[in-house]
Structure 1
Amino acid sequence: MNEIYVLGVGGSTPLFIELAEACGYKIVGLYHYNDERTGETEHGFSILGSFDDMLQSDIKGKQFLLSQGDMKIRKNLTDKIKAVGGIIPTLIHPTAIVSRFANISDDGVCIGANCIIQADVAINAGVVIRDMALVCHQTTIGNYCFIGPKALVGAHIFVEDFAFIGQSSLLVSGKVRNVGDNTLVGAGAVVTKELPADVVVVGNPARIISHIAK
């Protein structure tokens, strides 16, 4: 059985643990962002140390699963782990339906239960797609994007890096061609036009309510 370590101890950690187990992995242990919880257990698994402890040990060839919701933190940790020989595998829940014509990066993608990924979709590195989301044909999801549960991303859309698509939101095919870098689409929003980078949109139809400072 493949062994894997989980990084991050928080509210979403058990969701990622269950994804890994559904994909046939054995959880060896957890790492926390600092050493305050070293030696404790979380959901039945030992907290082995801090991220620094992990990075200072010999992790070459070992596999890791990141459970953080902050995609910038995920990217930073991924880079550090890969730099010293660690591996961040792609995990696709066995109940997900993924077209044989889809192109899924093997670099740290997580696809949850009952997702649908249609033909000619491209999913880039570090993307997290939560349960029951649908990504329609000829759409590209950029690096380190988050697609929330039950979100629907329509066809022929380019979602740029670090975009956040909230739960149960809808990006309408034929209306939206592009979602800019780092843009946040609120839960339940219905997007019917292009979205620039670094904005927050909510509502039906979705409207910009703020800009994200860089």
Structure 2
Amino acid sequence: MKLIYVLGIGHNTPVFIDLALACGYKIAGLYHYNNERTGNIDHGFKVLGSFDDLLAQPSLGGKCFLLTMGDNEIRFQLCKKIINKDGCVPSLIHPTCVISHFADISPVGVYISPFTYVQADSVIGDNTVLLSHVNISHNTKIGKNCFIAGGSTIGAYTTVEDFVFVGQGVLSISSKVNNIGHHSYIGAGSLITHDISSESIVVGRPARIFKKSI
């Protein structure tokens, strides 16, 4: 059983801990963004220190880390710093998932929660999170550092660019949506029937641009 250290303490943390345990890891301890909780016990695991304490180490020596924060940018930056110090951010796929033999899933920081489907000839990029009951249809590419919340379906032949956040229960229609631009935010329950430009916030059924996110 391999050890894994958990970064981030919040409401989602035990959800990701469950995923790591289901994938055969043992939790070695937690790190918080600051020192306020150092020495505390959270969900039965000790808080070992802050992110700064961890990254002050000269090398992380092949240790494994689990990044539990929902913010795509923070997760990306931490992943990069850990890898630069020779740490490992492994991909975790829950055993109840159905993953096509023909899907290409990055070995770096991808988390796939229970009962999610990734169909044939789809690609999942580094450091992307797919929560429970997500369906990634065939011939679809999900970029790096994305977060797709539970119950969402991304239709076939779609490219989702980097740093996209998809809320709960979003439906993107196959062959109608070719591209969802980088740094876009898709509101929960939205129905996507056309391409979404980069840095957009879209909501509704059908989805309409609410405002530019940047």
TM-score (norm 1): 0.98
How far 1:138 sits from its partner (Å)? 0.2
What SS does the corresponding residue of 2:108 show, helix, strand or coil? Answer: coil
What SS does the corresponding residue of 2:211 show, helix, strand or coil? Answer: strand
Give the 5 Å matches for 1:1-214: 1-57=1-57, 58-213=59-214
- Letter aligned with residue 22 of structure 1: A
What SS does the corresponding residue of 1:10 show, helix, strand or coil? Answer: coil
Aligned-residue Cα RMSD (Å) equals 0.6
How far 1:185 sits from its partner (Å)? 0.6
What SS does the corresponding residue of 1:125 show, helix, strand or coil? Answer: coil
Distance 1:121 1:167 in 2: 21
- Letter aligned with residue 128 of structure 1: V
- Letter aligned with residue 71 of structure 1: N
How far 1:170 sits from its partner (Å)? 0.3
Distance 2:49 2:60 in 1: 14
- Letter aligned with residue 209 of structure 2: I
- Letter aligned with residue 43 of structure 2: H
Distance 1:84 1:118 in 2: 34
Distance 1:110 1:7 in 2: 14
What SS does the corresponding residue of 2:29 show, helix, strand or coil? Answer: strand
Question: % of aligned pairs identical?
Answer: 49
Distance 2:175 2:144 in 1: 23
Distance 1:60 1:144 in 2: 24
Q: Deviations over 1:123-168 (max 9, x none)?
A: 0100000001000000000000111100000000000000111110
What SS does the corresponding residue of 1:197 show, helix, strand or coil? Answer: coil
What SS does the corresponding residue of 1:181 show, helix, strand or coil? Answer: coil
Q: Deviations over 1:189-208 (max 9, x none)?
A: 00000000001111100000
- Letter aligned with residue 186 of structure 2: V
Distance 1:98 1:174 in 2: 21
TM-score (norm 2): 0.98
How far 1:79 sits from its partner (Å)? 0.8
Distance 1:53 1:198 in 2: 34
What SS does the corresponding residue of 1:204 show, helix, strand or coil? Answer: coil
Q: Deviations over 1:14-72 (max 9, x none)?
A: 00000000000000100000001000011110000001111122411100000010010
- Letter aligned with residue 55 of structure 2: L
Q: Mean alpha-carbon deviation: is it higher for 56-65 or for 67-76? A: 56-65
How far 1:174 sits from its partner (Å)? 1.3
Q: Which runs of 5+ in 1 are unaligned?
A: none
What SS does the corresponding residue of 1:46 show, helix, strand or coil? Answer: strand
